[in-house]
Amino acid sequence: MITIHHLNNSRSQRILWMLEELGVPYEVKRYERGKDMQAPKAMRQIHPLGKSPILTDGEHTIAETGAIVEYILDRHGDGRLMPPPGTEDYWQARHFLHYAEGSAMPPLFLMLVLQMIPARAPMLVRPILKSAMQKVDTLLVLPQLKLHLDHWEQSLGATGWFAGPEISVADIMMSFPVEAAAQRFGYEDRPLLRDFLLRIHARPAFRQGLKRGGPYAYA
């Protein structure tokens, strides 16, 4: 049986949601972040990088969300959560499957790092670092994030989903970047993104994934 090694408030919540949507039996092994917000060292016993999510299934140990999603689709998808092969929606879904981690998350992570640097610095230099990090955020990070948010809102325009007329792997992969960005931007001026979050968070499979995974700050 599939086991998901799941870290609280992490990207692995998407995998639990996906498995619930597909009705695939699975087990969850929970891990809690330390005071430094990092995954515990126990996860390195499962995979050398010690990052969540990790999937184990018999002899297979797979890390990286995108690879895990591909594995689940290949073994249990039966054509579900992926538009018909060769269609424009199919390639759009493939785009977002890889884009979510490859392009969407890096500026969001950088934004978090810029906030953390002054908070963890000695008291005397915090004001200087805070000012410097705010300038980097304003000049470099925010313009990139605006570009990405525009792409998301535009992509939802046709159907309310990221790839085609119904929910797909694109929406599951994009859920975490959209949730993370919502913490800063709120989406008051981006109604399609706001409605997307309301819609996915109301899905029974999403709610069941939350029960299995435990506390999740983004829903």
Candidates 207, 165, 171, 176; CA nearest to 7 is 176
- Mean pLDDT in residue range 154-179: 97
Candidates 218, 157, 151, 216; CA nearest to 184 is 218
- Mean pLDDT in residue range 175-199: 95
Phi-psi map region of 69: left, alpha, beta (phi>0 left; psi -120 to 50 alpha): alpha
- Which neighbouring-strand residues pair with 30? 6
CATH 1.20.1050.10 range(s) for the chain read 88-203
More confident residue, 39 or 169: 169
Please state the pTM of the whole predicted model.
Answer: 0.91
- Which neighbouring-strand residues pair with 3? 27, 56
| pLDDT band, very low/low/confident/very high, at 38 (cuts 50, 70, 90) | confident
CATH 3.40.30.10 range(s) for the chain read 2-82+207-213
Q: Is the pLDDT of residue 58 over 90?
A: yes
CATH topology of domain 2-82+207-213: Glutaredoxin (3.40.30)
Question: Residue 43 burial by CB count (10 A; 0-12/13-18/19+): exposed, middle or buried?
Answer: buried
Spatial distance between the Cα atoms of 92 and 82, rounded to a whole number of angstroms:
10
Q: Give per-residue pLDDT as tens, 90-148.
A: 999 999 999 999 999 999 988 877 777 777 778 877 876 677 668 777 877 789 999 99
> What CATH number was assigned to the domain covering residues 88-203?
1.20.1050.10
Query: Which pLDDT does position 215 carry in this prediction?
Result: 85
Tokens coding 38: 């990092």
Q: Give per-residue pLDDT as tens, 71-92.
A: 999 999 999 999 999 999 999 9
CB within 8 A of 17, min separation 6: which ones?
172, 175, 203, 205, 206, 209
Spatial distance between the Cα atoms of 70 and 63, rounded to a whole number of angstroms:
11
In angstroms, what CA-CA distances link 138 with 134, 152, 189? Answer: 6, 20, 19
Is there a contact between 93 and 83 (Cβ–Cβ < 8 Å)? yes
